[in-house]
Structure 1
Amino acid sequence: MNRPNGLPNDGYALIVDGQVKTEFKTREGAEAGARDLKRRFPVLQIRLYDAEAKQAVELA
């Protein structure tokens, strides 16, 4: 279930250019998805949101 702001209550999410796009159950899956997106579209700003820690980190 998502919060009103679109962020998940559990797991991980990719935030692409400021918008929540995809949710993942594991950090490994989220990181793999982020790496794939960044490889295909290097100009995108991609952040990984951790629902447990309630914080997002920018991925290089």
Structure 2
Amino acid sequence: MSRSTCDLPTAGYAIVVDGRIKTEFTTKEGAQTGARDLKRRFPMLQVKVYDAEARSDEEVLLA
């Protein structure tokens, strides 16, 4: 299943939960903090931080 590129932000960072963009941020630190908090509260979710400039994402894991 492919996602259309119009869903992805073109600048900044976003939290991706189970394959869907949920919240956009201007800073990487803000996105990572929000993603870690979400993952702590709901560990069963797949949470990633998407970097629009690099067009890549990284999964958030509990330590």
Give TM-score scaled by structure 2 length: 0.85
Q: After the TM superposition, which parts of structure 1 deviate over 6 Å for at least 4 consecutive aligned residues?
A: none
RMSD, aligned CA: 0.9
- 1:25 corresponds in structure 2 to 26
| Identical aligned residues as a percent | 60
Distance between the aligned counterparts of 2:30 and 2:22, measured in 1?
14
Q: Deviation digits for residues 1-58 of structure 1, max 9, x if unmatched?
A: xx51x11110000110010100000000000100110111011100110001011111
SS in structure 2 at match of 1:20: strand
Give TM-score scaled by structure 1 length: 0.89
